[in-house]
Chain A
């Protein structure tokens, strides 16, 4: 399987906690130029791909028409996801959404107080519930927002379950250097490990599978595209700051919009990072990514198929003395997902 990621680095406004690269209030000409450059890049793409993921930023910040142009040539995929913000819902033409099989909505919270802290719009719950009938819907939720109580977090989870969405991602808020949140809340230290365990309980009792550290899905609704990342398979990426992976090669496009545009319009490609990884490095990335899949872990069969039997033995050897890893006949998994880092260190 091969994935295709398209990055739309535009947002209507910048959220104070976000450290992704995106531009707000970009002029029309820039959005046009970006759409043209990207559709040109995609038109020259030879490979067929199995999954499509349009992310951002806020993809719809540049409008449905421009997005149509960009992805016009991408067809025949098994799964096509687009990221949406609450304010997109009800505005975006449904026939545009028909291009996709999966909608990922950045809800973050249902609580008006918390949304105010985050400077985000509330989502129309009724509408979300309706969308689940036609699409696979994911919603993103944040835990550990400054001022957010445990009760509020659990309440958010309950409401998400009640909406009947097939997929839920829950992230502890990270406070990143350089964001407005950092200036305000850098001392904020959210250590509610017990609460994260209760979140897990609630979601698994409601029939969701905790399949990746931050991701829960009803059986059969795991995100194929994101799985490619965690399985360390190949994926192609377009857009400033987007990263791709092909065999031993990893690249990350430049963050600089103008440089990116020039290269997309036919100039030399400009990368912030372009590495041909050694086998050892590849293996290290492979291991730490696969460990994120909590139920599968590093799977013996896949390792043997991809790297050979000796490699499997070497991984087992590395894992042996780490109490945060559980080694079995068929896999190596993290013992406690809350200590994923400690588990992963064995492969660094």
Chain B
């Protein structure tokens, strides 16, 4: 093993498409390893979905040997849903490369991640990429970085990751400016888990940074948060694949496998220590990953319930953030109430369930968690609007807030402020990075973010704004409950909590959208929408008076049969509620109800 002095642990902080992967490729080449695309193909086979969507959520750290140096390049997740993991990844480093595209300048993710890196007191090396492009604005980008780092004298490394220009200099700067890891081998083991995944043979693979002590196969280790103990079966580091070694020592980045069968037993952010000779302190900053967005998933046919359960269990093996519990809805029958880190996480789970497990699913409108204090002093965490207590009993409701960072061309400031204010946002800070670019910081209810905030932001700024956020806890909320009655009976799956300011408009929109998606039935369908117990909107679907294919001659036979087949298929996909057939589109139409 290399001496600790020659090890450098760092991350690359970059906004999407600023060239993180391309720069990593250059490092790999210099270390004599194959190109990263091959590496990715080998290591992340199961994640095609992420790659298809053009977001690598995360790849494993890579150990690169370049000359006398050992670089542990630690990836940070590229999407805000996984920002807790960003923080943990940065905690495993001594330094960070702040990579900025010279043609784009500083963006929201750059800002958000740079602040995190500063919080962790990392050595930050600014790097300006894509200098080969004619539109590269080195001066402006440098000014933006200076503003961001709060120093007028930054000297960014100028590189073209694509052409390999400046990479040698970057390596020199890394070795000179990022300190080697500190920590002592003769102290009790302290290893930070900053990522984990499931391996069929070795169980949970905990990706770790060793801060103190050593660990080797046969050691008994203990997880700080749960106290559970395991025997290590293998330790190693990541190159092209997992490379087992005899021992990991203070300063190393690698993995520990201990035949753990439940990924939640080895949570990201936790500290591993020795069972027989434990450290006195954990590495600070651990908080269990908490789901922030909740929705119910139902199979379209009840018979698939067990298959859905199995599929969720399989996904959970690799996804500690996914939680689910069975529930039963009047409208949809048995299903699961699920918790996700964010909307992207939810989408990925849904898509994997449908693709990899061939399930046909209904997903309800996602909502956030509410904290409710009742008049009689009871405290409730409500994750399902249908379980919200009667408003007459409610003393205080709190909802989760995020602090959003928006980087945008200054000409759009007005419209973005308008957008944020319309979403119940409160401005925290506004700052110009350069004359043309500004950073807006807003505190916003998370519930506003999980609808179409981002789409709207993109449209009011013609795609030129970037957005990132972090959760900042709960604040008091003024909300109402919206309930839907179909022919007088409440449909539980259509219960929402919405801000009082637009509850009435939202209710009318819901009624209208339902009217347009519920097909005519043999009986009249009366849709009523209540806000806080009062009916504020009513629509009716007139009864069906005929249902007949009139014209049917020779040639039509197969075509008409197909029409009938479609009708039958459609009927199968509908849910019967209170003798009314409700199609899936009716539920989806609620997602499109926008009252603002």
Contacts and interface: CB of A to CB of B under 8 A. Distances in A.
B546 interface: yes
A237 B555 contact: yes
Contact of A345 (B542, B545, B556, B567): B567
A344 interface: yes
A191 B550 CA distance: 13
B595 interface: no
A243 B552 CA distance: 12
Contacts of B551: 171, 174, 214
Contact of B553 (A191, A226, A250, A341): A226
Task: Provide the main secondary structure of the chain B interface.
Answer: helix
B557 interface: yes
A241 B555 CA distance: 8
A342 B547 contact: yes
Contacts of B1: none
Given A345-B567, A348-B564, A252 B555 contact: yes
A340 interface: yes
Contacts of B550: 171-172, 174, 213-214
A213 B557 contact: no
B548 A213 contact: yes
Interface in B568-595: 568, 571
Given A243-B557, A348-B564, A339 B552 contact: no
B558 A340 contact: no
B557 A237 contact: no
Nearest to A214: B550
A148 interface: no
Contacts of B552: 213-214, 229-230, 289, 292
A110 interface: no
Contacts of A348: 561, 564-565, 567-568
A341 B230 CA distance: 65
A5 interface: yes
A260 to B, nearest CB: 14
Interface residues of A, number: 39
Nearest to B563: A341
A167 to B, nearest CB: 14
A273 interface: yes
Residue among B547, B551, B568, B571 with the highest chain A CB neighbour number at 10 A: B547
A5 to B, nearest CB: 6
B561 A284 contact: yes
B554 interface: yes
Nearest to A272: B558
B258 to A, nearest CB: 57
A316 interface: no
A224 interface: no
A1 interface: no
A273 B558 contact: yes
A229 B557 contact: yes
Contacts of B133: none
B184 to A, nearest CB: 75
A305 interface: no
A292 B548 CA distance: 10
A348 B571 CA distance: 12
Interface string A320-346: 000000000000000001111110110
Contacts of A193: 545-546
Given A229-B553, A243-B554, A345-B567, A288 B548 contact: no
Nearest to A251: B558
A245 interface: yes
A196 interface: yes
Contact of A338 (B548, B565, B568): B548
Contacts of B561: 284-285, 288, 348
B554 A237 contact: yes
Contacts of A194: 545
A307 B71 CA distance: 79
B200 interface: no
A145 interface: no
B555 A345 contact: no
B545 A338 contact: yes
A55 to B, nearest CB: 8
A242 interface: yes
Given A341-B547, A345-B571, A245 B564 contact: no
Given A284-B561, A345-B571, A245 B554 contact: yes
B392 interface: no
A235 interface: yes
B547 A340 contact: yes
Contacts of B3: none
A250 B558 contact: yes
Interface of B: 542, 545-558, 560-561, 564-565, 567-568, 571
Interface of A: 3, 5, 171-172, 174, 191, 193-194, 196, 213-214, 226, 229-230, 235, 237, 241-245, 250, 252, 273, 275, 284-285, 288-289, 292, 337-342, 344-345, 348
Given A237-B555, A348-B565, 19 more contacts: A191-B542, A191-B546, A193-B546, A196-B546, A214-B552, A229-B554, A243-B555, A243-B557, A288-B560, A337-B548, A338-B546, A339-B546, A339-B547, A340-B548, A341-B547, A342-B547, A344-B564, A345-B564, A345-B571
7 contacts: A174-B551, A213-B548, A243-B557, A245-B554, A285-B557, A292-B552, A338-B548
